[in-house]
Structure 1
Amino acid sequence: MTVATNVAGSGSPLPPESAPTPSELIARAEAIAPLLVPRQAETEQRTYYAEDTHREFAAAGFYRILVPKRYGGYELGVDTFLRVATILARGCPSTGWMYCLGATHALPAASLFGEQAQAELFAGGDFICPATIVPNGSAERAEDGGWRVDGTWNYCSGSPYATHFMGHVPMPGAEGEPPAPMLFVAPRSQFRRLDDWGGQLGLKGSGSHSIVIEGGHVPDHLTLPGTHMSEVVVEGGTPGYRLHGNPEYGGGSLSFMVLEVASLAVGMAQGALDAYGELMQSRTTLFPPVVTRAEDPDYQFWYGEAAGMIATAEAAVLHAVKQWQDLCAQGPGAFTREEDLRIATICREVIRLCWHAVEGQLFPTAGSSSVRQGERIERVWRDLSTLHSHAGIGVFLSAVTTRELARARFGVK
């Protein structure tokens, strides 16, 4: 296995102005997304989006949407961030995935860590921090009170341009006690990226490489012993909520993580529908009467079925985002574990709708020439298939979350 150096330079370009509006950021994403479509093949071959695309995202301010204002960020809210991610995924699923899962962890960093840690983490303005939730590696106390960390963490989406890495490591337990997870953030100087991504079925360009830390040093203030990001209880408030006064830095971590994936699934499915719509106008039927597909009742039905499913999925995820924000606005205590899980189940259904639209309507009727390797609909089918293979989606969201919601509702432990 070869080792790849990180691609980003020592700093990222500053955004063109200090405070763009949500509509301006969304307009920038809508202008960029069509340019990503013809670059999908090269993105897959490279295994991550190009450096000029990275610079364009930085200049547009995309990496600062969730960063707190006091550290030079925009603090514009999860609705703006997820909307940008959806639009980018519509143009290129791999690019949207890599961007989203790299930039999204500004929210947990600004929510869960204290002021000293945040001042250090956000000092560069742009924040790109892939994360994994499976504890791995080892951690030992260093002489200065920090931690010596070693290990390899797989599926670190966003790693090529990462400024930081957020992971979990088993923390030594007290005598007779099993290890507990410790959440930590390591600066880029402490890790390297492996060249081990791209051989998967889909999302080949999502930059989901492994990250290795060998003898790394993580200061104590960049660790949260006994904390797992997907199981954080926020009912008592969070350091970020108290520090910034922004209720969105006190929201449920689990539901936000799956809102990301649901938003990306909607963007991917919209991209497949775009491609199918082009075929409706450019291709004819195979059997008499030979007319354009747009004039054929069967193709009209298949397009309409898929369009309705995708529109429903989009409406559901947008309203789920609003529910997430409304719960945050109610203050500590409102965002219970049950509410966290309930929103997660909405995301489960959003992903199912997107998959059924692509797999059940668009892919089988587009025609064999339109689902050859590298064609847009074929790529979305592969990417959504790979999305389902993610343990957090295929196992946790589909099975574990369903049972946990019922247990939370009825107080069963």
Structure 2
Amino acid sequence: MSDTSRLHTAGTTLLDRARELRPLIESEAAAAEAAGRLTAPVVAALHEAGLFGIWIPAPLGGAELSPRELLAVFEELSYADPSTGWVVMATTLENGTGGAYLGDDAVEQIFTGPRTPLFAGQGTRPGTAVREDGGFRLSGQWSFASGMPHAQYAHSLAAVEGTDEVRIFITPIEDVKMLGNWDVLGLRATGSIDYAIDGAFVPESYTHLFTENEPSRGGAIYRLGVLDQALICHSGWAIGTGRRLLDELIRHAGARAGRPGQIAGSDAFHAGFARAEAQLRAATALVHETWEDVERTLDAGRRLDVRQETMVRLALNHVTSTVAEVARFVYASGGTSALRDGLIQRLFRDVHAGTAHITSGPQVLHECGRELAGLAPDQSWVLFALE
């Protein structure tokens, strides 16, 4: 088993590389939205910068960033373009946890090529798997496979027939039928298509329990399990996208300063902007404070307690709802400029696509409140509920 006693950190090199890619990502964003997928120059640049390897365990040649290092990279990429940030967070979560939890045979096949392997798929609504000698027979249809147009492997959740097991299955992209129905309000460039798999054989080594939290490779971050690691993704995405919204409104207002009747001269706008800035900064601070506490726990060789599990969920839920409020304020303040096709309109649509994700749903908020109020004694988190 892996030595998971300490948290691995890698410094700011990859964050600096992500920041250097901002001009390219911004220049390609409109073309990516029109195509429904990231453009080839952006994907190539992300590969060259090593950004698809940020979550892969260090023993496999990955960067294995810490939670707060991951947050910073996702914030930066999502600031440049929310769809780019979303694709990178989804694919890196999946190839990183695959590297940590899959069997040795699978890892030796998948992680030995010259380029970082990309995984894409769905980890919330399960397909079905039937156990066979040496593995499983996998079938199902899944939705919202972010980054699938760029992936070499599918990452799919399935329930094992006749058991209580729920596992993640990694299959070559050749086993996947892409359904190509990506026509949505926002995050259009993520290529989050539906897909199907019909009776593909998956060797045992290419699977792991969905609830796995004891890595075979890599350090303490993988003790969080897949779900808690996913909360890092969506928290960083929300912070970066929310910051970009407010910065775009600053530019919009400044360009109209001195003109009669514009928001730059409005006391109501000034007060509203101050509130939005405070709300976003406060929500961001809660995310960073919460994950700083998590890092201390992981680095001490411990697992999260119930209150910490509550707080990582609450911090994500709060920053996501805050960014939705910020987006509505920015859109309303932008007037007809926001109504027309352009960056503010796209950011507004992207935010409202991102807030629909199950990790930020109302059930989670209800359960957080129940635990914080002391009304869930002796209960623990199981996915999105206390039991």
TM-score by length of 2: 0.86
Distance 1:404 1:129, change over 3 A: farther
The answer to whether structure 1 residue 46 and structure 2 residue 35 are counterparts is yes
Q: How does 1:215-294 map to 2 (within 5 A)?
A: 215-224=199-208, 227-228=209-210, 232=211, 234=213, 238-240=214-216, 243-244=217-218, 246-284=219-257, 287=260, 293-294=263-264
Q: Name the CA distance, whole Å, in 2 between partners of 1:132 and 1:47.
A: 18
Equivalent residue pairs, number: 371
> Alignment RMSD, CA only?
2.6
Equivalence for 2:5 = none
Q: Name the CA distance, whole Å, in 2 between partners of 1:219 and 1:76.
A: 29
Equivalence for 1:96 = 85
Identity of aligned residues (%): 22
Distance 1:185 1:44, change over 3 A: same
Report the secondary structure of 2:79's partner residue.
helix
State the one-letter code of the partner of 1:260.
Answer: C
Q: Name the CA distance, whole Å, in 2 between partners of 1:129 and 1:408.
A: 39
State the one-letter code of the partner of 1:136.
Answer: P
Equivalence for 1:379 = 346
Q: Name the CA distance, whole Å, in 2 between partners of 1:109 and 1:95.
A: 21
- CA contact under 8 A between 1:129 and 1:164: conserved in structure 2? yes
Distance 1:146 1:40, change over 3 A: same
Match of 1:128 among 118, 121, 133: 118
Residue deviations 1:340-399, cap 9 Å, x none? Answer: 23211111111122222221x32211212x212422222222111122222332244334
Report the CA distance between 1:52 and its aligned residue: 1.1
Equivalence for 2:332 = 364
Equivalence for 2:64 = 75
Report the CA distance between 1:402 and its aligned residue: 4.5
Equivalence for 1:25 = 14
Equivalence for 1:188 = 173
Q: Structure 2: 5+ residue runs without aligned partners?
A: 1-8, 380-386
Q: Structure 1: 5+ residue runs without aligned partners?
A: 1-19
- CA contact under 8 A between 1:71 and 1:119: conserved in structure 2? no
The answer to whether structure 1 residue 392 and structure 2 residue 359 are counterparts is yes
Report the secondary structure of 2:188's partner residue.
coil
Q: Name the CA distance, whole Å, in 1 between partners of 2:315 and 2:236.
A: 11
Give the structure, 1 or 2, with the largest relative contact order (CA under 8 Å, sep 6 or more): 2
- CA contact under 8 A between 1:66 and 1:78: conserved in structure 2? no
The answer to whether structure 1 residue 137 and structure 2 residue 127 are counterparts is yes
Q: Name the CA distance, whole Å, in 1 between partners of 2:367 and 2:142.
A: 23
- CA contact under 8 A between 1:88 and 1:267: conserved in structure 2? yes
Q: Name the CA distance, whole Å, in 2 between partners of 1:408 and 1:109.
A: 36
Q: Name the CA distance, whole Å, in 2 between partners of 1:187 and 1:172.
A: 22
State the one-letter code of the partner of 2:335.
Answer: G
Match of 2:187 among 188, 200, 203: 203
